[in-house]
Amino acid sequence: MKNILLIIFLFFSNFVFAQCKKGNCTDGIGTYDFSWCLYKGDFKNGKPEGTGTMKYDDYTYTGNFVNGLEDGEGEITNNNGSKELVQYSKGIKQVSHLEKIAAKDYKPLNPKDENCISGDCVNGFGTYQFKSNNKYVGNWVDYKMEGKGTFYFSNGERFEGTFSKNEKNEGTYFY
């Protein structure tokens, strides 16, 4: 019985502690504290709708909202200051353009590979030209992109930032 009462209390406490802090949180512009995040922006029918900013514990999303959910283009700012352009659909973050294009390039590299066009692509600083015509210029550790670097896409876009074990860690994507 105690567990049931606790579950009911926790469920309803979200509604009790959540509140409009400023403005019109029904149909207008306002600030709403959901107790687990803080939203500032446009509202329609009591839900985030239009442009706004949702601040979570470890990051902040600024962008478009539809029916209370992130939807469309936006930007995530992590607590460490790094930024990422993102795309949401009905509250679900879509795979970023970087992840879609670069995934086929992230594979173990052969130290004798002729695609290392300059420098040291094993343990040092080097330039590696992928078969897809994407290119990475930056630091390498054990044949992996590690530390500061720039990933150039064949379409002219690029990602500048830090990498860890062949994956982007933090940085900025340029369209």
pLDDT confidence of residue 5: 44
Distance CA 165, CA 152 (A): 17
Over range 145-159, report the average pLDDT.
87
pLDDT confidence of residue 57: 85
Would you list the domain boundaries of the chain? 2-94, 99-174
pLDDT confidence of residue 51: 95
- Higher pLDDT, residue 168 or 2: 168
Over range 60-82, report the average pLDDT.
88
Over range 54-69, report the average pLDDT.
91
Q: What is the pTM of this model?
A: 0.50
10 Å CB burial of residue 82 (0-12, 13-18, 19+) is middle
**R_g (Cα) of the chain, nearest Å:** 22
